[in-house]
Structure 1
Amino acid sequence: MALSSRGRLGTLRVFGPDSDGIVAACSNLMGKYGCNIVKSETWSDQKENMFFNRLVFTHDQPDKVACQQDLTEICKDFQLENRLNWRDRKKKVGIMVSKYDHCLWELLLRHSANELPEMDIELVISNHPDLQSVAETFQVPYHVIPVTPETKAEEEAKQLELLKNVDVVVLARYMQVLSGDFLRQFPENIINIHHSFLPAFMGGRPYHAAHDRGVKLVGATAHYATEDLDEGPIISQDVISVTHRDGVKDLMRKGRILERNVLLKALEAHLEDRVIVHKNRCIVFED
């Protein structure tokens, strides 16, 4: 659970049509229930007249049901949506991976070092047995579920059964397209990572194609998975410069470093409730 020197940390996110008095109403509500606000961030989208607010507060286990009821009434008055998280338990994370191991290593190492204190890794699911030894190094359960076009529905049902108690699914280079039925089980809770050559360089050899074209930037993108393949709301991105001196292996090495870092940054933002999704866009508040 999230802790500070002054008690447990909670998070409130609200968003909706911009109007006067929203911050005051939310702040007064949290004060009513003995919560001490330690950080407040707001952003207004003037083009759409939308308001976004994230409050971080400390608390000592107030009447959560009553607080949520009062919050619901306030949000009804202002036509807001709200996400109130007392953060009194860690989020359970399931990782899905194929054969590339760099993102899996990063997540497991960071978790082992307690650098991701907001989560517990429950299991790893793969369509290949190749990375079982990696998971076993960290004593994380590893499940092999091969997927073919003919068995996709049946195998996804097995995956969903394994993930039934999981809050967040991380696609750590899982090289299978998830069905709409699967994605709908985890709305805004499936995080995917890939190189940023899309859509210019598609297919199985994007780095080779990018090298042949003489690209000068290598990048990575982390986003929420949706039925529009690789077009979900973007949480985090980064790029690095490359030159004509960099071969395909250099591009791949630099790209994988970026993928590890960008995925980690996106997951941290999600775990800390710093993301609000509006339409196909992520508003990501500072850490």
Structure 2
Amino acid sequence: MRDPRTSQPTSFPDEPQQPRPGLETTMRTKPDHGEDSYVGKGLLAGRVALVTGGDSGIGRAVAIAYAREGADVAISYLAEEQADADETRDWVEKAGRRCIQLPGDIRDRDHCAALVERMVAELGGIDILVNNAAAQTINEDLADIDDDEMQGAFAANVYAMVRLAKAAVPHMKPGGSIVNSTSVQAKVATENMIVYSTTKGAIASLTIGLSNLLAPQGIRVNCVAPGPVWTPIQPIAKPSDELETLGSNTPLGRAGQPAELAPAYVLLASDEGSYITGALIPVTGGMPML
């Protein structure tokens, strides 16, 4: 039994900021993706999953967990993130599962359809779609919101989820699952994250709508809402002094690690969650989402 207040790092000193898109390989304090801790139970044996943003962070933790649960995994990521994607592929293959890499920009509507078709051709189908990739924008004032950046955030965070679902669902059988990544920001809506928070609120609503639409086909749709989690998205958006105390305002007093998110994604993709659809699971360190 571990004390959840101290079982993971409680501060991240001297972590330098990074330019977009951010790389795990250049982070000073490495995130925990469950490489040395996640133990599979065969919950996803024989299934095939697509994880967007699967190169690092939560996406890598989910890819590792799914592989150890018996699934073959396709990962989507930006071409600039190839070094991180190679590490994820290595971990999936160490678990004895197949991994295909699908570099490209999911803001491109044609790429969304193409990556699903390639995955189906190479892995034989798709049972699980994890819409995890996201663009995070920061504003100090309303006037600082850049229109092009806002368009890009909605394209990556919301439009791509719809396009990927449209491409994937025709290949899914009853028992298939879609898991979306929203955020505590969907409810907290920090004042300097207006655009990001709005996209995450849209994802929460999209999840409910898709779950109602697809339930008659036996396809479940749910979302996970992370709180502050130690991933490459953090040093993109925050200065070093904020990074050092990331998560200190949560009831548990620290940031989460990607490995702590993966079990929720496993539950929602597996038969263990067979009566869960249209749900939002908060993994926030105690930050409320009421």
Q: TM-score range by the shorter chain?
A: 0.3 to 0.5
Higher strand proportion? 1
The structure that has the greater radius of gyration is 1
The TM-score, its normalising length taken from structure 1, stands at: 0.43
The TM-score, its normalising length taken from structure 2, stands at: 0.42
The structure whose RCO (Cα within 8 Å, separation 6+) is larger is 2
Higher helix proportion? 2
